[in-house]
Structure 1
Amino acid sequence: MTTTLRHGDRSQAVRILQKNLNNHGAKLVVDGDYGDATEAAVRAYQVKTGLVADGVAGSKTQTSLAGGDCAQLLRNNDLLAAAERLGVPLASVYAVNEVESKGKGFLDNGKPVILFERHIMYRQLAKVRHEGDDPTELKRHADQLAAANPALINPKAGGYTGGTAEHQRLAMARLIDDTAALESASWGAFQIMGFHWQRLGYTSAQDFVAAMSAGESQQFDAFTRFIETDPVLQKALKARKWTEFAKLYNGPNYQRNLYDVKLLRAYERHASCECGQGVAA
C-alpha cells in the first residue's frame, strides 16, 4: 500500500519521491525532507499532468510518476469546475476533496469502491414506490426476505466484508431486487448512497451506478451535486463553517475523527498558496 506523503514528512520514501520528481524535470535536493520546494515540485507535476494539484503525493501522484495508468483518476479541472458551480474558493474544494474523499474511487480490479448496507436494503424493499403499493404487504415481504437472507437484508446494520467481497454481496442482492440493491450501496471515493440518485438528477439507480463506474470525475460530480442539492450544506461550505459542514456531511460522530479540524487545516494550507485562490467567495 502506497504511503501518502505531504509537507513536513521526512523519510526514505520522500527521497524516492524527490528522485522521481527530478526524473520529470524538477531540480530538488534529494534530502528526504518534504519541505516547501518539494511541495511546489509536486504541485507543478500535478498541474502538468492534470492531476488534482494539492501538493500532496498520494497513491495517484506516485502512480503517475511511475508511469501508471491515470485515465480514471480525478482531474484538477474537475475541482476548478466545482468551485465555479458552488461559488466557493478553490481552496475550499481542495479541502473537502482531501478530507472527505476515501482516496481512491476504484479497487485494483477496476470496480468502483462500494460498501453494501444490508439495513438499507431492508428499508428499500419496504419502500412504497408506486401508487397502490400496500406498505403492510411490502414490509411483510421484506421480513420474509430478511429471514431467508440475513447477510443481505436485515433491519440491523453490519455484515461488511470489505473490498472486492462487497461486490459479491451486491451481486447476490441484485438477484433479489436490482434497484433496491444498487440503492443500498455507497459508491465511489465519496461514498454517495445509491438511494440519492433521484435527488442528484440521475434518471435511475442504474444510471447513477453507470456514472459511478465510469471514473473518479463522475464520482466527484455526484459529490458536487450532493452539496448543490442541500442548501444548508452548501451555505455552510460557502461560509467556511467547517464544524457545521462536518456535522452535516459526516454525522454526529464528526468530532471523533476531527473532520472539522482537518477541513480547517486543509483549507488554510491550500488558501496560503496561489493555486488555492480560484473562485472568490
Structure 2
Amino acid sequence: MIPDLSNASPDETPDGDRYIVPGLIRGLAILEGFSQNNPEQSLAAIARDTGLPRATVFRILHTLEVAGYLERNPARKTFRLGNRVLRLGYNALSGRSLRDIATPILERLRDETGCTTHLVVREGTDVVYIARCLGATRVDSLIGVGTRLPAHATVIGRTLLSHMPLPDVVRLYDGYDFPTYTDATPADLGELVAQLEADRPQRSLASWGYFEPDVASIAAPVRNRAGIAEAAVNAICSLDAYDRAALEDVVRVRVENAAEEISVALGYQG
C-alpha cells in the first residue's frame, strides 16, 4: 500500500524529508506495479492495490499517459507501460556493451533450461561467439567464446542470415565455397536461399543435430533500436537432455523471451 501524501507536511513524509515529492513517489510505485505477469491494469485495480483514492490514481495515470509513460486501452479501460519507459531503459543501458546487457539474461536462460546458452554476432560469412553460459546438461560441443563457425551451416547463423535482405545474402555468398557438415547443410547458394526463405517467417529456429549430430539447439534473433538483427541467442543441449517436443515447445518460448528482453534493452520497440 502506498501512503497518500497529497496533503502531507514534511514531518509526515518518509524520514521527514522536506525535499521528497510525494506525487513522484506514488507515480513511480504505480509504474513498478506493471510486470510481465501483470502487463495491463485498470484504474480500479491500481487504486485497490495501492490503497490510494481513485481520484488521486486518476490524476497520476492521466499525467503518466500524457507524458508517454503509460498507454491507455480504451476498449478494455486499462493501462500498460508506454514506449517512453523503454527509452528510459535504453538510455540507461546504451553505454554498456551488448555482451554486458545480454550476459545476465543468458545466465537466467541457462538456469531456466539447464542448457548452455550463447550470444553470437555475424562477421561476413561466419558467426562469432561472444558470450557463453555453461549449462548443467551434458553437451559435447567445442564451442567457446571466440569460436567462429560458418553461418550457413548453423541454426544460429541462419537466424541472422534469414533477417538480412535477400540481395545482401546473394552478394555475401556469391562465389562462396559451401562446406557441408551434415546432410542438412545447404551445399550451394540456391539451397541456402530456399532454406532462408523458409526460416524468415519464424520467430526462432530449432535444430536437432543440424550442425553437430549429437546437439540440439534453439536460436532467436536480437534486434537493435533500428530493428536490425544485430545478434542472436541460442540454448543448446545434448539430444538426450530433452524430448524433442519439449525442446521445441518449452525451451523455444524461453529462448524467444530472452532474445526479446535483450532487444528491448537495446531500444527495440517492435
TM-score bucket of the superposed structures, by smaller chain: under 0.3
Higher relative contact order structure (alpha carbons within 8 Å, sequence separation ≥ 6): 1
TM-score by length of 2: 0.24
Structure 1 or 2: larger helix share?
A: 1
TM-score by length of 1: 0.23
Structure 1 or 2, whichever has the larger Rg, is 2
Structure 1 or 2: larger strand share?
A: 2
